[in-house]
Structure 1
Amino acid sequence: MHAKQTGSHFRVGLTGGIGSGKSTVAAAFAALGITVVDADIVARAVVAPGSDALAQISAFFGPQVLSADGQLDRARLREIVFADTDAKSWLNQLLHPRIRQHMLAQLDSAISPYSVLVAPLLLENQLNLLVDIVLVVDVSPETQLSRTMQRDQNSAELVQSIMAAQCSRAERLAAAHYVIDNEAPPAMLAGEVAKLHRIFLQLAEEKLAKSLT
């Protein structure tokens, strides 16, 4: 697959299904001094109290989607849009451009040799168009289920419904330029990330050199 047009700065898109260990892998890259932009953190910042987006959401859905302290009640909003495709479409049209703008600003201001964009829905929301290569953290569906149930104390049914809403394991692997098998013992993960780090430094250097010619 060819690199995307993302300027001279090299960007890695990091994704994987729920419970695959994306956050652990992202933290390993951050420990190496690499700028990591997390789509979930950006999404929360976009609807922080006092934001224009939160004001529009409150006006559209009513005060029922706000908690007592003025924060967005994500669980309540998720219930509403899950049952109403028009409401979901309105919300996506409001939030996706804002989230993308904030992510791009953070990626553009990165001072590390390359940056990592972490997004559970990298492929589903076409955020892979913002990066040069895709790195997939891969585990079996059985591991996803058991890890997520243990981590979030959720039922198997809920976790399976979240997994079903994401693209399939096969689709993720088909889109991947690099894959981390996260079924291995945690002690092996740092070594895998270090190997990829060296590869990405080389790719970033090549891209920068090409942009200067």
Structure 2
Amino acid sequence: MTTKQPTNPKKPTQNRTKRASRALNIKNRQSLLEVAFGIRSLERMNKITQLESDLNTVITKGDTVVAAIRNEKDPNRKTEMEKAWNTFPEVKVALTSIQTKVKGVMAQIKGTNEEKSLTEVSTKYKPLGVVDFNEKIDLRPLRLSMKLLDPAQQNKEIEQALENLDDAVSMDWGMVHASFVKIPNLLAELEKEFKAFFEESKKQHENHHQFDKAKDKSFMEKIEEK
């Protein structure tokens, strides 16, 4: 007696995967983006601590560029550079503020134990929400304008420091503060949803296993009857 093979048989693992994937339903997918942004912000902060020397260079020596602009002979280049550097006093204050706040944040993080759950991670983020990041920094105009200086007035040290810092520092830091405030609750909610997903997946797997056992038992009983 030959057994007819079903056409396009579906593997049990494929069916289980599809059922399990449907169980994972993040209610607010924006929360994943918020958490990702928070993690990226911490990565930036870690980079800033590694660029301490560059920060100090811009903060302590940036005024030399302002002085060099005053001596620029080309009126067009002078106008362009003044446009970029006329806010340097505010930039200097913002950089000094960020330097202090980032040091405090990184000190808090490094002093905690390794997390074993999203809830524990959220506990780490709670103190960070208290730090009032409100700076808006854009170093790109300063960095690009350095090319306009007369070669005799150029300062490669400051130019390189600005280039190193631009990606890590240039942003609206108020968004970081808002993210750190939200993340503890977001992580707690995500952990609940992931837990529900894994519990549902486990339940489906157990049900499927019991169903397979029942089918096998029924099949064997029919054979024995024959």
Fold shared, TM-score > 0.5 on shorter chain: no
TM-score w.r.t. length of structure 2: 0.23
Report the structure, 1 or 2, having the larger strand content: 1
Report the structure, 1 or 2, having the larger helix content: 2
TM-score w.r.t. length of structure 1: 0.24
Q: Is the radius of gyration larger for structure 1 or structure 2?
A: 2
